[in-house]
Amino acid sequence: MAHWLRQPGQFVTALLFPVLMVLMFGYLFGGALIVPGGGDYREFLLPGMFAMTVLFGIESTYAAVAVDTARGVTDRFRSLPMTPSAVLAGRAAADLLHCAVGLAVMLACGAAVGWQWRAGAPAALAAIGLLLLLRFALVWIGIHLALVLRRPESVIMLQILVWPLGFTSNAFVSPDTMPGWLGTVAGWNPLSATVAACRELFGNPGWGGESFAARHAVALAVAWPLLLIAVFGPLAVRRYRRLDR
């Protein structure tokens, strides 16, 4: 958090980038896109953009951990009498707070362009909770990869993986519009589960479907992040302990 206060430009830029994405897709491309079952495209788009905001955060997590590792900051922490999980949990908690601020900005942006939730406040809070749960899971992936690779410049490699993951989902268009095999991949994308669950909980158009993944979106939006946390959380802690090997 001290870094955010001392580098406000970088912090604000990270918050405004998703807003630019909303304006681009909502106004430049939105007129050419059709929502499955009908409805306003911006209401279809915003839950997807909320999830994309969550996804893009993995890059900042990776970069921060990799920089600390390369500069020896992590080694200083490891020399202190603290549990290994404390440092990583602090990083994850800080990133979760950053995501909460980013989602607040995106919710305000959505309201400004005409988006609204239509299923009540409890359902909307549940949707926001699912988004934060996904972010928490992705944070642990970013931490683990940064501790494995250690080089800040390798964030480019992560970006090459993140962008296809984000666009091969239902964030911008329905998987039904894709070729069969690609639609199946997009339907089972963990990001798609969260997006579909958020559309359902927000009461926005485009969340229905006949596939198992579409019919059980809320359950998968809980299961996928918990699975990722269960796998990459222990891996990150184990790697942190073995950095000198």
Judge whether residue 123 has pLDDT over 70.
yes
More confident residue, 208 or 97: 97
Average pLDDT over residues 194-208: 88
pLDDT for the residue numbered 245:
63
How far are the Cα atoms of 60, 115, 128, 140, 236 from residue 99, in angstroms, in the given order? 11, 20, 11, 14, 20
pLDDT for the residue numbered 35:
75
- List the end-to-end C-alpha distance of the chain, in Å, as a whole number: 30
Average pLDDT over residues 129-157: 88
Average pLDDT over residues 30-54: 80
Average pLDDT, the chain: 85
Q: What is the pLDDT of residues 81-117, one digit of tens each?
A: 888 788 889 889 988 998 898 899 888 888 888 888 8
Nearest Cα residue to 15 out of 46, 57, 64, 61: 57
Write down the domain spans for the chain.
10-26+38-241
Judge whether residue 202 has pLDDT over 90.
yes
CA angle 93, 99, 100 (to 5 degrees): 90
Which range (72-81, 187-196, 224-233) has the least confidence?
A: 72-81
Structure tokens at 1: 């958090």
Which range (36-40, 42-46, 79-83, 85-89) has the least confidence?
A: 36-40
pLDDT for the residue numbered 189:
93
CA 114 from chain centre, in angstroms, equals 23
Q: What is the pLDDT of residues 18-30, one digit of tens each?
A: 788 787 777 776 6
